[in-house]
Amino acid sequence: MTDEKAMVKVEEKSSWDEALERESWVAPKTNIYETNDNYFLTADMPGVSREKIKVELEKGSLIIMGRIDYENVSTRKFILQENEFGNFYRKFNLSDSVNSDKIDARFENGQLVVTLPKHERVKPKTITIN
């Protein structure tokens, strides 16, 4: 890795760490549902761009984070404020039934969608009767 790339990674990490300490964070509205093959987690993150989302696996937990333009939003003079403002942060403990090697995430229309594939051992099976 070039020094420039390493420097960018360090800056990105420190900016996230600094934001965790200095800025306010709220839990995004989240839904979790399942199909026979997968669990799906959807999290609403209005005001967040794709570049400002972080999804991490850490010690059996899934961490989702999204950063808004905090400086801009925090200086607004609200006339009506129904939404709690802040960056988005939520941590979920993963079950042993999730195949963490195959987790996938996408971001569309202000919503983060994380696909959590089930291990084969927990998927429903039909047994043929002879």
Tens of pLDDT along 78-110? 899 888 888 999 999 999 899 999 999 999 999
3-59 pLDDT, tens per residue? 444 444 444 556 888 888 888 899 999 999 999 999 999 999 998 999 999 999 999
CATH number of the domain located at residue range(s) 26-122 in this protein: 2.60.40.790
The side-by-side arrangement of strands in the sheet containing 61-66 is: 25-26, 87-93, 61-66, 53-58
Q: Which CB contacts under 8 angstroms, 24+ apart, belong to 92-101?
A: 92/41, 92/61, 92/62, 92/63, 92/64, 93/60, 93/61, 94/57, 94/60, 94/61, 94/62, 97/121, 97/122, 98/39, 100/57
pTM of this structure? 0.77
